[in-house]
Amino acid sequence: MNPSSEALILSLTAASIGVVHTLLGPDHFIPFVAMSRAGDWSARKTLWVTTGCGLCHVAGSVLIGLLGLTVGVVVMKLEAFESLRGDMAAWMLIAFGLAYLTWGIMQAVRKMPAAHVHVHVHGAGAGDAASGTATASVWSPWLLLLVFVFGPCEPLIPLLMYPAAKASPWAVAAVVAAFMFATVATMTLTVMVMRFGMSFLHLPQFSRFSHAFAGLAILVCGMLVKLGL
């Protein structure tokens, strides 16, 4: 087969797998939608956080794959290492979700009507809740970024990079670029569409639980990743 034709086929395969891999993994979009809604992120911030996490998500596996190609590490060893990274990412997502759920419940309790009276008496409560929300808006994107740095792109190394390596370095570059673009584009498009849809959902009576719901969503995603779903 012509090298250019082989590279094109591999790139199209990479793009297709990137799209499917992203859509089948709820951890690729639900945490961002949940955090965007709970933290009242702007569309621009949501887009930048999702894009940054997506790029780091793919870049980690790319670097490991390129290292494997350079030193000649066999595919099975790289797959085992990627599996370990996947377990770490799942546990980090679970820990993040559990911590955020707990914090969200505490925030909801502070915003309860009964606590409103306590605010006027002691001058605390609402201000603390607002301050806590602002702080969470700063550190939560960095925690998501850390989780996605450890999160592997399972199909990339065995299905894409090694077949491409048999062709040429240009084929490797084309496959990586196609997979990265498809993955990040699918993540951002899915997140922004879901975020837009969520904007029409107004439930004022549950608004104080928004952080708790976000933590629960992240926790469930982590558990699904851990179960291999």
**Residue whose entry in the numeric block shows the structure tokens 């502070």:** 110
Q: Which two tokens stand for residue 56?
A: 């780091």
Q: Which two tokens stand for residue 81?
A: 């290492």
Q: Which range is most confident: 52-56, 81-85, 211-215?
A: 52-56
pLDDT digits (tens, 9 = 90+) for 157-216: 776 676 776 767 788 888 889 999 999 999 999 999 999 988 777 666 667 788 888 889
What separation in angstroms does the CA of 117 have from each of 111, 113, 207, 220?
11, 7, 19, 35
Percent of the chain with pLDDT over 90: 21
Q: pLDDT value at position 123?
A: 46
Q: Which two tokens stand for residue 129?
A: 């809740």
Least confident of 17-21, 56-60, 133-137, 140-144: 133-137
Output DSSP code: residue 158.
I
Q: Which two tokens stand for residue 167?
A: 């062709």
Classify 1 as helix, strand or coil: coil
Q: pLDDT value at position 136?
A: 56
Output DSSP code: residue 157.
I
Quick check: 133 and 211 in contact, CB under 8 A? yes
Task: Measure the CA–CA gap between 88 and 107, rounded to whole angstroms.
Answer: 28
Task: Measure the CA–CA gap between 31 and 97, rounded to whole angstroms.
Answer: 9
Q: Compute the average pLDDT of residues 29-52.
A: 90
Runs of H (alpha helix) within 24-74? 30-38, 43-71
Alpha-carbon 150 to chain mean position: 10
pLDDT digits (tens, 9 = 90+) for 122-153: 444 445 445 555 555 566 787 888 888 877 77
